[in-house]
Structure 1
């Protein structure tokens, strides 16, 4: 079985939690009649599908960029549901921090010896 990288693991956690928020945000937009029902449900479903595609492609660099697109579109959803400006901005900040930290952790992991004797005493 393939070992997942740090970026893939952390990114899938962030996007997994965001899937719940996107689903609930879609329900809120639908309940508030923020736009016609077809547009709200279609837009929410499209954003959820995009997040799932990002999770499935996180092993490649394009997955990170698709994840960034999900974050930006979540912020843009604030046009219809104003609270999404805040929620989207929070998830964007979490995403940026997670991707930065994962990249740093992968660099550190790549520079350590494979045999586990990095700190002999």
Structure 2
């Protein structure tokens, strides 16, 4: 199911008056972008928290999220920062639903490390 098909079915088809249908908008008004709900299979009209979680596995960070197997036409990257201001590292997601960070954390590794999931539509203008 493409982004446009999902948007028409899950947002417009269920709430025609909802004007928050763009990828970066939040149809539920919860701050979780519609595109993230598309990628993770969440209901765009139900308020929710972030579907992305970060935990520690060994000496590395592990980011996980649910996967909508029907979502097509998207690219995922994980961006990293040490200060939440400069997002200098970017990694392609190769395993659906999870990312194992590269540098170790703690003793001898990164003291502060933040990750965020970046979701992009592969088709411009969608």
Which has more helix, going by share of residues? 1
Q: Which structure's CA Rg is the greater one?
A: 1
Q: Which has the higher contact order (CA 8 A, sep 6+)?
A: 1
Structure with more strand by fraction: 2
What TM-score do you get using the length of structure 2 for normalisation? 0.29
Question: TM-score, normalization: structure 1?
Answer: 0.29
